[in-house]
Amino acid sequence: QSDNSDKSSAESDSETEVEQISVYHKLLATLKTSPESESEEEEDESGSEADGESETEMNSEGSQETGEADGGEKDGGEEDKTDVPDQEEATDTAEQMLGHEQADGADTSCDPSRGVIEEFTDVKHESEFSLETNFMEEESGDCNADQRDSNSSQAFSEDPFKQHMDKEFEEKEVEKMSTLPKTSCQSKWPRLGQLTFSSTLEKHKTLKADKEVDVKQLYLHKPLESTWPKVNKQFLSSVNKPSDPFFTPLQRELFCLMNTYRDLFYPERNALTNGEEIRHAYCLHALNHVLKANAQVLGNNAKRRDQKPGTDSDDYRDQGLTRPKVLMIVPFRECALRIVHIFISLLEVNDKRKIDVSNKKRFKGEFGSDPEEKPPNLKRPEDYEAVFAGNIDDHFRIGVAILQKSMRLYAPFYSSDIIIASPLGMRTVIGAEGEKKRDYDFLSSIEILIIDQADIYLMQNWEHVLHLMKHINLLPLDSHGVDFSRVRMLNLNNWSKYYRQTLLFSALQDPQINSIFNKHCFNYVGQVS
């Protein structure tokens, strides 16, 4: 491990250790494309256009691209970051280089022909954001959350997250799920209209739309309960005296459905009218899921630390085979920018308690847009303006790690909780059969897949979406250093696709979009469209 981490930081010219330099030179000697390693950093800085081009160029040689995934692999995969101590010697440089370097691997990662110079590992943040080595923060009052997490209290066991992830199946039931036809029933909801619920296993209980939502019943992980009303206020103000201080009628019904962990297809997303309120609703759901999952892991870390040696620890199965839990597919960089902003504002309790976001400046540079770039005299219809606002580059992906009060952008995939990407960004990292350098293990334990603005991918390249669906929730080819005693049985049995929730939003009904929903979604709770 340790020489691996040396290589990963070998790109930094400011490294002075002798062995580092020799490794660097040895590698340089074997490379065809040696100049690239120096030029990459400048490329990265020169903004997202260059970034996009360099990505695609390098791609055409079938190289590059999976570096971020390798970076994660080296981090010890899902979470087992035992290599952190080995990397201590690189720490000082790590901090200076953080701005450029860690960046490097994330978007325009290194060319595989370079052997193992992989994505720069940012040691300082690696250990901070590692789920393995952290525990619940005591002072923040999160420890009561930990008490609440222990199943003793009935309240927590009714949490939809817990119910969904803890459900256990027998082989026979799983076989039924994959062979039996779905049965469906209909129900009319005030705002969403006609809903079709379908599932293979469950007998249908028709869900009634709640007129009022008691926030307690939503089981929002803190701080979301207090931050959500502030973040969502912008959508409520237009209505005089909203009946519900938390949600718009549309959000309330959508969130209640999402919160049951059913698959959801909503074909009336409109960039002009409800696009942003829908985006806020699914961001709330995704973040709620990640915070609960991570709190469970951190709580169990503490219990394991305190337990007597020799006691059996099979009760701590609380994670998947790899760490990423939520995959959000959006068409443009601007959408990713908005999602990250929503996450940040949902995690910030008040102005005094800002959360720590690493690599924020670089993120703004690569995902933001310059208002002056827009040709001033172009008149376009307003729906066009709404869809193509901001930075409309469609080749990107970014890992986001979230831990208590901090957030790390550009986390290597195997150390991320949430991956935000475009179909093309996913396609280039998944690769095609026969390519030497391809990686889709990080998709093995996705628990929530959100595909927003699906109609736009019909205008981009629908194949990429299908390609992604074929590679999600497969068993990983490599263990990525995961601690198998903590992996849920459902992941070990390769049943994770039956637990994955898919949220699909589109502006229109389309046979191809429907087919994703019908052919690639196997959620045991069922589906609603």
Q: Is residue 36 part of a domain?
A: no
Instruction: Dump the DSSP string for 305-318.
Output: HHSPTTS--GGG--
Residue 322: both structure tokens together: 């790899």
Q: What percent of the chain has pLDDT over 90?
A: 30
Q: Which contiguous run of DSSP H or E holds residue 48?
A: helix 48-60
Distance CA 334, CA 341 (A): 11
What one-letter code names the amino acid at 187?
Answer: S
- Sequence-ordered strand ranges (E) for 271-325: none
The set of residues, in sequence order, having a beta carbon less than 8 Å from that of 29 and lying 6+ positions away, is none
Q: How many CA atoms lie within 13 A of 355 on its CB side?
A: 25
Which is nearest to 8 in space by CA: 105, 96, 125? 105
Q: Is residue 8 part of a domain?
A: no
**pLDDT (average), residues 471-490:** 88
In a domain, 368, yes or no: yes
Gap between the Cα atoms of 143 and 148, Å rounded: 9
Q: How far is CA 447 from the centre of its chain?
A: 10
Would you say residue 107 lies in a domain?
A: no
pLDDT in tens, 290-331: 999 999 888 888 888 887 666 666 678 888 999 999 999 999
E-strand spans in 384-443? 397-403, 406-409, 418-421
CB 404 within 8 A of CB 299: no
Does the residue 119 lie in any domain? no
Domain of 274 in residue numbering reads as 160-305+315-528
- Band the pLDDT of 366: cuts 50, 70, 90: very high
Write the DSSP string, 358-374. Answer: ETHHHHHHHH---GGGS
Sign of the Cα torsion 63, 64, 68, 70 reads positive
Neighbours of 203 (CB within 10 A): 7
Position 340 pLDDT exceeds 60: yes
Can you give the CATH number for the domain in which 342 is found? Answer: 3.40.50.300
54 domain-assigned: no
More confident residue, 54 or 273: 273
Q: Are 395 and 428 in contact (CB under 8 A)?
A: yes
* Structure confidence at residue 24 (pLDDT): 54
The verdict on residue 82 lying in a domain is: no
Beta pairing, strands 406-409 & 397-403: antiparallel
Say what the pLDDT of residue 313 is. 64
Q: Are 260 and 160 in contact (CB under 8 A)?
A: yes
State the distance between the two ends of the chain, measured CA to CA, in whole angstroms: 48
| Cα gap 263→513, rounded to integer Å | 14
What's the number of domains the chain is made of?
A: 1
To which H or E segment does residue 357 belong?
strand 356-358
What is the arithmetic mean of pLDDT over 3-16? 43
Residues 404-412 have a mean pLDDT of: 88
- pLDDT attached to residue 378: 78
More confident residue, 374 or 234: 234
Residue 473's pLDDT is 92
Residue-by-residue DSSP string for 88-110 = GGGHHHHHHHTTTHHHHHHHS--
Mean pLDDT, rounded, of the chain: 74
C-alpha closest to that of 170 among 498, 528, 529: 498
CA pair distance 520, 156, nearest whole angstrom: 31
Between residues 126 and 104, the one the model is more confident about? 126
Model confidence pLDDT, tens digit, residues 17-68: 444 555 556 555 555 443 433 333 333 333 333 343 334 333 433 333 444 4
DSSP string, 224-235: HHHHHHHHHHHH
Question: Residue 198, SS3?
Answer: strand
Residue whose structure tokens are 């827009």: 374
- pTM value is 0.74
Task: Give yes or no for a cis peptide into 309 (omega within 30° of 0).
Answer: no
208-243 pLDDT, tens digit per residue, is 777 666 777 788 888 888 888 889 888 886 655 656
Query: Quick one: pLDDT at residue 186?
Result: 87
What number is the average pLDDT over the span 153-167?
75
DSSP lists the bridge partners of residue 448 as 326, 501
**Is 404 a domain residue?**
yes
Q: What is the dihedral of CA 258, 263, 266, 269, to 10 degrees?
A: 60
